[in-house]
Amino acid sequence: MTDVADTLPAEPATLDQTDAVERTLVLVKPDGVRRGLSGEVLRRIEAKGYTLAAVELKQATPELLAAHYAEHEGKPFYAPLVDFMLSGPTLAVVAVGQGVIPGFRSLAGATNPTEAAPGTIRGDLGRDWGLKVQQNLVHGSDSPESAAREIGLWFPNL
* Residues known to be catalytic: 139
Decide if residue 136 touches ligand DAT (CB under 6 A): yes
- Helix then strand count (H, E) for the chain reads 7, 4
Q: Which of 58, 75 has the CB closer to ligand DAT?
A: 75
Q: Which of 12, 118 has the CB closer to ligand DAT?
A: 118
Q: How far is the CB of 10 from ligand DAT (least distance, A)?
A: 40
User: Rounded to whole angstroms, how far apart are CA atoms 136 and 27?
Assistant: 11
Q: How far is the CB of 97 from ligand DAT (least distance, A)?
A: 19
The residue from 35, 54, 77, 153 that contacts ligand DAT (CB under 6 A) is 77
**Number of Cα atoms under 13 Å in the Cβ half of residue 69:** 22
User: Rounded to whole angstroms, how far apart are CA atoms 22 and 24?
Assistant: 7
Q: How far is the CB of 49 from ligand DAT (least distance, A)?
A: 22
Beta carbons within 8 Å of 99's beta carbon, 6+ residues apart: 22
Segment lying near ligand DAT (by CB under 6 A), choices 8-16, 33-41, 59-67, 129-137 = 129-137
Residue 157 amino acid letter: N
Decide if residue 96 touches ligand DAT (CB under 6 A): no
The residue from 116, 134, 151, 154 that contacts ligand DAT (CB under 6 A) is 134
What are the b/e assignments for 37-71, b being 16+ CB within 10 Å? bbebbbebbeeeebbebbeeeeebeeebbeebbee
Dihedral (Cα; 135, 44, 125, 37), 10-degree rounding: -70
The residue from 94, 139, 151, 154 that contacts ligand DAT (CB under 6 A) is 139
Q: Which of 51, 106 has the CB closer to ligand DAT?
A: 106
Name the residues that contact ligand DAT, by CB under 6 A: 72, 77, 81, 111, 133-134, 136, 139, 142
